Amino acid sequence: MPSKSTIYRKAGKPVKARKDSSGKVVELWIERSRWARSKVVERQAVFLGRTHGHKTTEGINGGSALLNKNGGMCCLGFYARACGVSPLKVYGKGTPSELDSKKYPEQMNWLLNENRYGDESEVANELIGTNDNADMDYPCAREQEKRIRQLFAEQGIKIRFVS
């Protein structure tokens, strides 16, 4: 694992968010330049003398994680940071359930399955799948952004994607 100072440097500037009077995140800005996600790409392959096209996904801004080694964050990484989780706690974690349960912000509980510790809720899994474009359902970033906005809006959180 990198040093503490390296992780903080890679995490970059703080995440921009607006909170209500109780301190709950109600609006979150996701910077596209720091957004770790997957996109669908067309690949050409030559097989038995013929060229075949196929679709696959490719990582943008490093591998998808709450905070990856390149300083990129998935949508839930931006949210966790806005909720006050430190870069050290989110670094290298793939899902919210991997965070330390003793220091888990209460406002993030909607991301966890109520019945089992260490398991994401249905909406968290959908956010992860959308961010990572696991089923290649989103041919462009705008479609991914739209779905992520919808899923967060169901939790009362407005998402803004900014360049």
Return the domain boundaries, the chain.
4-162
Confidence of residue 119 (pLDDT cuts 50, 70, 90): confident
Assess whether pLDDT exceeds 80 at residue 120: yes
Q: What is the mean pLDDT of the chain?
A: 83
Strands (E), the chain: 17-19, 25-31, 37-47, 50-60, 158-162
Mean pLDDT of all residues in 28-47: 74
For residue 94, count CB atoms less than 10 angstroms from its CB and return exposed for 0-12, middle for 13-18, buried for 19 or more.
middle
Query: What is the pTM assigned to this prediction?
Result: 0.83
pLDDT digits (tens, 9 = 90+) for 57-116: 456 666 778 998 888 899 999 999 999 999 989 998 989 988 876 777 889 989 988 765
pLDDT at 76: 96
Cα–Cα distance list, 40 to 18, 48, 144, 162 (Å): 32, 25, 11, 21
**Greater pLDDT, 37 or 62:** 37
Of 74, 86, 84, the residue nearest 30 (C-alpha)? 74
